[in-house]
Structure 1
Amino acid sequence: MAIEINQTVKILFEVKIDGVVVDGSRSKKPFEFNYGVGQLIPGLEKRIVNMKAGEAAEILVPAAEAYGEYDENAVQTLPLAQFDDIADLKIGMQVQGEDEDGQPIQFTVKEITATTVTIDLNHPLAGKDIEYKIKIDSLM
């Protein structure tokens, strides 16, 4: 039986970015999720829909169907004073914040000068194709 919307699926997986393993089922304990409700990136859900329990596959999800293409317009330079409440601000730091409407956002600090901070609002994996090794452990 193929996977159905809202069905509980357990998978064993390995994730590679640029050929380097970055995540996976290290403990050999399956990752459990409900299919079709946004718990996985769209490109992966789309590619496993016809898989059955016990089936394995190597899947490449292009950036556009994962975390999106990298958007240069999502890089902004702001006054350093806006970051006074962040102790030990460092390049590469990922920061949780709020936008003008009070909605949560996450960004990465790209550059710090004496008067400004350049931030990147892109997801850290934006612009990256993602390679998966997947095995459907069970469908419930």
Structure 2
Amino acid sequence: MAIEANQIVSLEYEVRDGDKLVDGNVGGAPLVFMFGKGQIIPGLENGIKDMAIGEKGDVLVKAADAYGEYNAEAKQEVPKEQFAGIELEVGMTLYGQGEDGGTVQVVVNEIGTDSVIIDFNHPLAGKDLMFSVTINNVRDASAEEAMTGIPAENKQEDDCCGTGGGSGCGCN
């Protein structure tokens, strides 16, 4: 039976770039997401749509359906002073805030005397990836999950309310 939009999927995976293991969660917490909401890369979502609970399989995801093609123009020279207090190394990944307020991941390409060249491409851009997946569970979303798009398994525990945080938390 095909996985349908708005169902909650739980899976284990390993992803390889050629022979190199680049990510995975086998033996750890499963990846849980709402199918059809763009919460995982499109090529993987499309590759598992006909899998069933307990099924294992390999899914080859082409670069265009993973993290996109590599864009050689997605680099920027930035004054080195913007990285004050950070011990920079070529190849290191940094996170910052984009113009839209979202998190931006960059990789340090070059470190000059007065400037740093950063690359905005995802580290896996331009790479075809092989995912080995096991579908742990597929279930219908609850009304709240369907409304928020957030599976119950991924809901953040509130560090304040309900833990005796008091009036300073805005929980009263």
TM-score band (shorter)?
A: 0.7 to 0.9
Report the secondary structure of 1:81's partner residue.
helix
Measure how far apart 1:29 and its partner are: 4.9
SS at match of 1:47: helix
**Secondary structure, aligned partner of 1:92:** coil
Larger radius of gyration: 2
Q: CA RMSD in A?
A: 1.9
Quote the residue 1:93 is aligned against. Answer: 92
> In the alignment, residue 69 of structure 1 is paired with which amino acid?
E
Question: Identity over aligned residues, as a percent?
Answer: 45
Structure 1 residues 99 and 2 mapped into 2: Cα distance closer, same or farther (>3 Å)?
closer
Whether 1:125 and 2:154 are equivalent positions in the alignment is no
User: Where does residue 4 of structure 2 map in the other structure?
Assistant: 4
Q: State the AA in 2 paired with 1:91.
A: V
Between 19-28 and 1-10, report the one with greater CA deviation.
Answer: 19-28
Q: AA paired with 1:98? A: Q
Counterpart-to-counterpart distance in 2, 1:35 and 1:59? 16
Q: How does 1:51-130 map to 2 (within 5 A)?
A: 51-84=51-84, 86-100=85-99, 102-130=101-129
More strand by share: 1
SS in 2 for 1:73: coil
Aligned pairs, number: 139
What secondary structure sits across from 1:72 in the alignment?
Answer: coil
Residues 98 and 62 (structure 1), Cα distance of their counterparts in 2 relative to 1, 3 Å cut? same
Distance of 1:5 and 1:121 partners within structure 2: 31
Task: Could you list the structure 1 runs, at least 4 aligned residues long, displaced by more than 4 angstroms after superposition.
Answer: 100-103
TM-score of the pair, normalised by structure 1: 0.87
